[in-house]
Amino acid sequence: MTAPRIAFLDVDGTILDHGRTIAASTVEAVRAARAAGCLVYLSTGRSAGDIHPDVRAIGFDGAITNGGAYAISGEETIVADAMPRDAVERLMAYFERRGIPYFLQTDAAVYASPEVQAATADLMNRWLGVHAEADEPQTAPQGAPRFRDLAEIDLDHVAKAVFLGEATDTVAHAQAELGDRFHVVPGSMPLPGGSNGEIGMRGTTKGSAILKVLDHLGIDPSASIGIGDSWNDVEMFEVCGVGIAMGNAEPELKERADEVTTSVREDGVWNAFVRHGLVAV
């Protein structure tokens, strides 16, 4: 019996457009591919508890979340690699010493101080307002994290950290100071004049989780495609048979992919699925 084809899809900038809309063609592509016997998994930096219901409603065979710290196949947990407590404490001390706003993710939720919650909401609303179409209704952004109070977090279950720096070199400084133990990459939140980053443990990436899922399923990586638009997608591009960058990805990221599809607003997922035979036209 021939093993099925499998696709891994990023969420923000790949499925979700500017945190607001999902193209009808993306929904059709995922459902048609699954109906034809292909497997389709989410592969996101978001926590499982912060994936918008509209994304979940599309229907997937599993999900890699928190940038690779967690993964499920159906209802079965394949990866569950929370950060060691001392690593979390080191990150918190680093952010607080430098005055860098941050939030922490568990698999269930996202946690931040009230001040960071307010700043993030303001940032997202301003950015989404700039990118909204003139006739687009101003609804609550799907892209904004839904926070819980940082004081309530269990430090033994943290999967990932996200930070918001006022300086353009904030990510570079974090990479230099924390790179001995952590995987630090630029994030996808827009910060004019600043920089946003994501931090996980070294060796914990979307790519590492994908390999574990493929091994669990008995599927060779050559039968997989990975589609994304952010720097936390690089390792996904590296391990999948074909790594595909969205047309809205940064030019430097496109160079790391095997090919480039159209943008999230121009049916990028649909066009990639058609090109690779996951859906028929």
Q: Would the pTM of this model clear 0.95, i.e. be above it?
A: no
Q: Where along the chain do the CATH 3.40.50.1000 domains lie?
A: 6-81+205-275
197-246 residue pLDDT tens: 999 999 999 999 999 999 999 999 999 999 999 999 999 999 999 999 99
What is the tally of helices (H) and strands (E) in the chain? 9, 16
Q: How many CB atoms lie within 10 A of CB 99?
A: 8
Q: How open is the CA angle 172-175-177, to the nearest 5 degrees?
A: 110
Task: Report yes or no: 161 and 111 within 8 Å, Cβ to Cβ.
Answer: no
How far apart (Å, rounded) are the C-alpha atoms in residues 261 and 7?
14
How far apart (Å, rounded) are the C-alpha atoms in residues 67 and 81?
11
For the record, the structure tokens of 190 come out as 């827009």
Q: Mean pLDDT across the stretch 25-53?
A: 96
Q: Mean pLDDT across the stretch 144-158?
A: 89
For the record, the structure tokens of 80 come out as 């569950």
For the record, the structure tokens of 159 come out as 């999967």
CATH for 6-81+205-275 (1.10.3720.10, 3.40.50.1000, 3.90.50.10, 3.30.1490.20): 3.40.50.1000
How far apart (Å, rounded) are the C-alpha atoms in residues 51 and 33?
21
Beta bridge partners of 22: 16
What backbone torsions phi and psi does residue 125 show, to the nearest 5 degrees?
A: -65, -40
165-203 residue pLDDT tens: 888 899 999 999 999 999 999 987 665 556 789 999 999
Percentage of residues in the chain with pLDDT exceeding 70? 88
> Kind of pairing, strands 182-186 and 195-201?
antiparallel
Q: Where along the chain do the CATH 3.30.1240.10 domains lie?
A: 85-201
Architecture of the 85-201 domain: 2-Layer Sandwich (3.30)
